[in-house]
Amino acid sequence: MKIKTSEIVMSAVSPKQYPEGILPEIAFVGRSNVGKSSTINTLLCRKKLARISSSPGKTRTINFYLINEEFYLVDLPGYGYAKVSKDERASWGKIIETYLSTRSNLHEVILLVDIRHQPTKDDQLMYDWIKHYGFGRIVVATKSDKISRSQTHKQFKVIREKLKMAPEDIILPISSLKKEGIDQLWGALTNFFIQ
Ligand code: GTP
Ligand code: MG
């Protein structure tokens, strides 16, 4: 994918703030700190477009990044972060749920999981939920620099089984640190959703 332009268009918390128009959107979901914002930066060859942090709970709004004036990558707040208040967690949950369940521009939702860990109960629920809406054909396993190549296949099996992924669904490793897996992810996105 040749990135000619990438810009943040909106940080939204409610539907009236979503961008107008009919351009397709691809959203990234996953636990807090799994690497959603980093993955978006890496895909776009930008260091600081999406803000990242070593402490979970960095992204608190729905951020719409317009690419080549043709489609959006959408960064969402993470779930499963224990250290925010119950009220705040409920409010993030509502923000994510409203977007995912009502947004007609949505073409795909990509679940990100940490390659080192078993998907959590929240990951399983999220994957079931996005599958129910017809998404979830790509799962991204983040931080692939943290394990060896031989461990990768073992972890893929664990992730596939835990999430009950269908054989045709694909799982792709990505390392924002080493900039690995980017072409493969763009390839999958281009094949499936972007003309
Ligand atoms: P929230 O916005 O809190 O939901 O988190 P997020 O999923 O957007 O995660 P973010 O991109 O902010 O990254 C969290 C931490 O993981 C940061 O310290 C990143 O530097 C680190 N990180 C992200 N991707 C990678 C990776 O591929 N490899 C390594 N080693 N670290 C990574
Ligand atoms: Mg983030």
The string of pLDDT tens digits covering residues 16-52 is 999 999 999 999 999 999 999 999 999 999 989 998 8
Model ipTM? 0.99
| Domain assignment present for 121 | yes
Q: SS3 string of 54-81?
A: CCCCCCCCEEEEEECCCEEEEECCCECC
Nearest ligand to the C-alpha of residue 57? 1
| Domain assignment present for 151 | yes
- How far, in Å, is the centroid of ligand 2 from the Cα of 81? 12
| Domain assignment present for 148 | yes
**Other C-beta atoms lying within 10 Å of the C-beta of residue 118:** 14
The pLDDT tens digits along the chain (195 residues) read: 899 999 999 999 999 999 999 999 999 999 999 999 999 999 999 989 998 888 888 888 999 999 999 999 999 999 988 777 888 888 888 999 999 999 999 999 999 999 999 999 999 999 999 999 999 999 999 999 999 999 999 999 999 999 999 999 999 999 999 999 999 999 999 887 655
Expressed as residue numbers, the domain containing 82 is: 6-192
Q: How many domains does the chain have?
A: 1
CA-based angle 62:39:164, to the nearest 5?
85
| Domain assignment present for 120 | yes
| Domain assignment present for 1 | no
Residues with CB under 5 A from ligand 2 (ion): 36-37, 58-59
Pocket perturbation via mutation, ligand 1, pick of 176, 180, 182 by most ligand atoms within 8 A of CB:
176
Helix (H, G, I), strand (E, B) or coil at 7: strand
Pairing mode of beta strands 25-30, 106-114 = parallel
Measure the CA–CA gap between 193 and 176, rounded to whole angstroms: 22
**CATH code for position 124:** 3.40.50.300
Residue list, ligand 1 pocket, CB within 6 Å: 30, 32-38, 52-54, 56-59, 77-78, 142-143, 145-146, 175-177
- How far, in Å, is the centroid of ligand 2 from the Cα of 92? 13
